[in-house]
Structure formats: structure tokens, C-alpha cells
Amino acid sequence: MLLNRRQLLKGIVGSVATSFMASPVFSQAETKSKIRAVAFDGFPIFDPRPVFVLAESLFPGKGKALGQAWRIRQFQYQWLRALSGQYVNFWQATEDGLVYAAKQLKLDLTIEKREQLMAGYLNLKTWPDVIPALEQL
């Protein structure tokens, strides 16, 4: 069964809320404090498509393939490094994924192009359905 981002967000929040309410801490927390924050992974929240549009403009005809290979490697690096106890921050895993994907596709990733693509991650917007889904919480 495939889930869209909205279903994923609702499921995550529902699971957190259900497990929290089922715990003995809930009755104590209800009188002492309210939930102040809920954390989410960035993948279902932020829309990376503008970065991949930029990739297409920098590597015409190859940007889509670069974006796909980059995204896969970025995700793999985060998981594999965390699981193996060799954690690096998101920025480093993202850059490493970009370098790997460019080499895999035999693209000339200059320092300038690498910096442009990486800078795209500093200004990501949320997916269109994220704000309405969060407001429903």
C-alpha cells in the first residue's frame, strides 16, 4: 500500500498521540503541561523539486537522472551511516550524495555547480499539503 505525504503525516501524528495518551504519563502531563512540539523528518515536509529543476538547468537532459540518483543516495547515506554508528549531519550526507550521483552519471560537477545545487536546500518550501495537514492536528 502506497501512502501520500498527508496520509504519512496523519499516521505519524496519530501514532504519537495514541501512544502518548495510552501512557500513564498522559494523565500527569495533562495537568502539568501541554505538548509543545512534534518533530518530523524533513523528507515528507520539504519539497526538493526546485533543486531538481536547477539540476536540469545546470545539466540539460541529465538533471532528472541526477536528481533521482542524488535523492536515493542522500537517503541511503543518512540511514546507513546512522545505523553503522558513523553519523554525519544532513548537509554532509546531501553533499556526499550529490558528488556520488554526479560521478555515477559522469557529469562534470564543478565547485560552482555543486555550491549552487547545495544552496538550493537552504530555501526549500514545504509540500503544498503540509500546512493544511498540520493545521488539522
State yes or no: is 129 an active-site residue. Answer: no
Give the CATH number of domain 46-126; options: 1.10.3720.10, 1.10.150.240, 3.90.400.10, 2.60.40.3880. Answer: 1.10.150.240
Give the Cα separation of 44 and 5 in Å (integer). 6
**How many residues comprise the chain?**
137
Between 13 and 130, residue with greater pLDDT: 130
> Which amino acid belongs to residue 107?
L
Residue 53 has pLDDT above 60, yes or no: yes
Task: CATH 1.10.150.240 in the chain: give the residue spans.
Answer: 46-126
- Give the tens place of pLDDT for each residue, 87-130: 899 999 999 999 999 999 999 999 999 999 999 999 999 999 99
> Does pTM top 0.85 for this prediction?
no
Cβ atoms 46, 128 nearer than 8 A? no
pLDDT at site 95 = 97
In the chain, the largest separation of any two C-alpha atoms, in whole Å, equals: 60
Cα 111 to Cα 75, 86, 98, 101, 105, distances in angstroms: 22, 26, 12, 15, 17
